[in-house]
Amino acid sequence: MPNVAIVGATGAVGQEFLKILAERNFPVEELRLLATKRSAGKIISWQGTELEVQETTHDSFKGIDIALFAGGSSSTEFAHSAVKSGAVVIDNSSAFRLDPNVPLVVPEVNPGDVSWHKGIIANPNCSTIIMVVALKPIFDLAGIKRVVVSTYQAVSGAGREGIEELESQLKAWANGEDMVKQVFPYQIAFNLVPRIDVFQEGDYTKEEWKMVKETRKIFNVPDMAITATTVRVPVLRSHSESINIETEKRVTVQEIRESLSKAPGVIVVDDPVGDSYPMPWFTSDTDEVYVGRIRKDFSIDNGFNIWVVGDQIRKGAATNAIQIAELLL
């Protein structure tokens, strides 16, 4: 059984790692919990054992087989030290995603890419993961010529602080008090912010470029036509995405629905008569990607619209990383 380290064990994704390792009965010989100096000494209970959080250092990875990095600056600081110590790093930050020497893996989409890792395997961006799981069966069925995606991303995408900020603003509003904003550039309660991460080339945000570039890498189609608009919404958990797809081949809505229904990691919830479709409230704390509102786009020959929802802390981060670890086993 492997010795496993979690870097960032006290954060939102780190805590989810612990939960999912237990849920999936992932075999662990030793579990080492690592975090910043501020969190060192905290006691976390896992599977009936009390574990003390240690400060992450360059020497923290001796004897570790798999190191799960929850994200943030610790990846660039410590990932290479973990590899030197003999561990395989599964990294949730953006640091290595577009490195041509690092596989970017979603197990339902490109599991074979794990085989060429050189010590680091990157976990894609949460909104990218949710999208590509839904695109994969359509890609296999009919090819994909173009994708237009608009996201509705929950505050938990900004970590535990994002959740706390929305909750505190809602309480302040209910009590007639001033709302304090620190995590998001504007008040998020009762509002939408059409900017996630910093602005970059062409006035697209870093989050939008992540969806474009990471999707191309995962599908190994460097010129796939993709455009994205990413929006933060006042939802606690689970990202939603409106995806418009132009396929290479002519297929029917029924063929697309059937391909999605058979796909691993996908649940189709699509019943207009029964007013049934995926929503964040009902998909939170699950591992699947939910697809509904499957319909023809009548403005182009081979166009379709789908509505996709997934829990970005689980499938969009922690679960995907642990699925990668399962591929390694």
Q: What local confidence, expressed as pLDDT, does residue 97 receive?
A: 98
The span from the CA of 329 to the CA of 217, in Å, is 24
pLDDT digits (tens, 9 = 90+) for 75-110: 999 999 999 999 999 999 999 999 999 999 999 999
Q: What local confidence, expressed as pLDDT, does residue 160 receive?
A: 85
pTM listed for this prediction: 0.96
- 176: Cβ–Cβ under 8 A, 6 or more apart, which residues? none
Give the burial string for 276-303 (b: 16+ CB within 10 Å, else e): ebbbbeebbebbbbbbbebbeeeeeebb
**CA atoms 325, 67, 320, 145: torsion sign:** negative
Catalytic residue flag (residue 117): no
Choosing from 58, 80, 117, 126, which is the catalytic residue? 126
Domains parsed from the chain with CATH numbers: 4-124+317-328 (3.40.50.720), 128-312 (3.30.360.10)
Catalytic residue flag (residue 239): yes
pLDDT digits (tens, 9 = 90+) for 126-151: 999 999 999 999 999 999 999 999 99
- 36: Cβ–Cβ under 8 A, 6 or more apart, which residues? 55, 56, 74
Q: What local confidence, expressed as pLDDT, does residue 111 receive?
A: 98
Question: Edge-to-edge strand order for the sheet containing 303-310?
Answer: 225-232, 144-153, 239-247, 303-310, 289-297, 266-268
pLDDT digits (tens, 9 = 90+) for 15-37: 999 999 999 999 999 999 999 99
Q: What average pLDDT does range 218-237 have in this prediction?
A: 98
Which tokens belong to 170? 């809602």
Q: What local confidence, expressed as pLDDT, does residue 12 receive?
A: 85
Query: Sorting pLDDT into bands at 50, 70 and 90, what band is 204?
Result: very high
